[in-house]
Amino acid sequence: MSTSSSRKALNIGNINPHLLKAQYAVRGELAQRSEVYRQQLATGGDELSFDTVISANIGNPQQLDQQPITFFRQVLSILEYPALLEKEGLFPEDVRERARVLLKEVGSVGAYSQSQGCLGIRRSVAEFIEARDGYPADPRDIFLTAGASSGVNTILNTICSHPATGVLIPIPQYPLYTATLALTNATPVPYFLDEATAWSTDAEQIRSEISKAKAAGTDLKCLVVINPGNPTGATLTESGIEAVIALAAEERLVIMADEVYQTNVYSGEFHSFKKVLRNMQKASPGVYDEVELVSFHSVSKGMVGECGHRGGYFELVGFDPEVQAQIYKLVSIFLCPPVIGQCLVGLMVNPPAPGSPSYELYQKEYNSIFEGLKLRSRALYDAFLRMEGVKCQDPLGAMYLFPTITIPTAAVEKAQEEGRRPDEFYCLRLLEATGICVIPGSGFGQREGEWHFRTTFLAPGVDWVGRLEKFHEGFMNEYR
């Protein structure tokens, strides 16, 4: 504790204890150190043994190789400066037309929208969901958000009513969930994904955690599923989703389906929870009518990759109208999500149609990003297979690989000396030696005695993969 603490009204001893408890490794010590290196390199930085920092710690496509989709950005540039509409020939006609429609809907992108998001854009989202799932969606059930994180925060703040409120969380998980549960002072109830079967979700495993949690007095309210998985990349099958929904119905759990990677599927097919739920409701009338589902989506991932624009939405399915009104009140306190981000959601769900002037370029850009991600995921996966003591599941979806690493006893001891977890020690060494920033598995959760790290496969080229392999070899030689 710093000596200054006691002189201040606010100090580490008296601030919100739930904040102290929250952990968020994705932007923690390693990420901060990588930023320091980046600045050092920008101002000379001769003392470092690498010449670039590779931020593989976070799914931030446009910080790395990924270029924005031209159609989206052309429309946004007009929304920012509508006088560009008067310049004939500057943009394709469908860009101008789309900008006109969006401007009519939002007025100015500098004005607050409705708290739930602009109605016209929510209508587009509803049409997208309907086209994707084959079942209708209602714009009144759609809330536009500042990225999916903000939506998750809204829902958990609604659900969590007391410290014993339990939320089932996959392990490994994206740490937004445990961090937000720490802040809301509720109880995360972990269930393990099965690494041996491509990180699948096993309803029986969840059922057994439910029994234990109930016995411990936890008031279980909600089940989080991340599909495709973060950090695992796993993609759930239709029957896997059915099993989860059946369990939620039986146990009266709200399902939070984090579906932000729904277009990042490199093998198999994405099935939305909404579609599978509606199928089940149709097949067994009355049995699943009361299921409560929230589905999250975002402009940050997929081939859009517009993290910085903070756009997203969630759809409420089967919620009590009184609860929905409280969710509306909560979002209204913070006025509205960024309007440019809302417009980008509108563009993502309604891209150029076949035959329109921008269609061909859009398809080309979209496919090239998709193929690039797929290729890089394979290249990284192949490298892991070559590395001593490293195991990795096939890359199926999302933007990440989450390999298991074997850490030699000497390294584990060395880590303990430094007061660090072994995987943290490994990742720190990797960063210091190569400038590659990845996140230790302990930031996401892993089984006792296992060690992993999460890396994105967004960084361009293969040079950095070579650096990673070389580091690993040296590390194993040093501590073997």
| Residues near 157 by beta carbon (within 8 Å), at least 6 away in sequence | 180, 184, 330
Decide if 352 contacts 358 (C-beta within 8 A). yes
Q: Judged by CB, which is closer to a copy of itself: 64, or 407?
A: 64
Scan residues 49-68 and list those touching a copy of itself (CB under 8 A): 58, 60-63, 68
User: Which residue blocks in 81-161 are alpha helix, DSSP H?
Assistant: 93-106, 119-133, 147-159
Token pair for 216: 């411990």
Decide if 277 contacts 288 (C-beta within 8 A). yes
For 391, the enclosing helix (H) or strand (E) is strand 390-391
Q: Considering only residues 44, 285, 321, 449, which one is a binding residue for a copy of itself as defined by CB under 8 A?
A: 321
- Is residue 30 within the footprint of a copy of itself (CB under 8 A)? no
What are the beta bridge partners of residue 456? 400
What amino acid is encoded at 69 in this protein? Answer: I
Scan residues 165-184 and list those touching a copy of itself (CB under 8 A): 176, 179-180, 183-184
**What distance in Å separates the CA atoms of residue 31 and residue 36, rounded to the nearest whole number?**
9
**What distance in Å separates the CA atoms of residue 73 and residue 62, rounded to the nearest whole number?**
13
Q: Judged by CB, which is closer to a copy of itself: 422, or 435?
A: 435
- Is residue 474 within the footprint of a copy of itself (CB under 8 A)? no
Scan residues 271-290 and list those touching a copy of itself (CB under 8 A): 290
Q: Judged by CB, which is closer to a copy of itself: 66, or 200?
A: 66
- Is residue 5 within the footprint of a copy of itself (CB under 8 A)? yes
Q: Considering only residues 10, 51, 215, 285, which one is a binding residue for a copy of itself as defined by CB under 8 A?
A: 10
Question: From the CB of 160, what's the least distance to a copy of itself, in Å?
Answer: 6
Question: From the CB of 282, what's the least distance to a copy of itself, in Å?
Answer: 20
Question: From the CB of 304, what's the least distance to a copy of itself, in Å?
Answer: 8
Q: What is the DSSP string of 29-87?
A: HHHHHHHHHHHHHHT--TTSS-S--EETTS--GGGTTPPPPHHHHHHHHHHH-GGGGGS
Scan residues 99-158 and list those touching a copy of itself (CB under 8 A): 106-115, 146-147, 149-150, 153, 157-158
- Is residue 246 within the footprint of a copy of itself (CB under 8 A)? no
Q: Considering only residues 45, 190, 268, 308, which one is a binding residue for a copy of itself as defined by CB under 8 A?
A: 308
Q: Judged by CB, which is closer to a copy of itself: 306, or 424?
A: 306
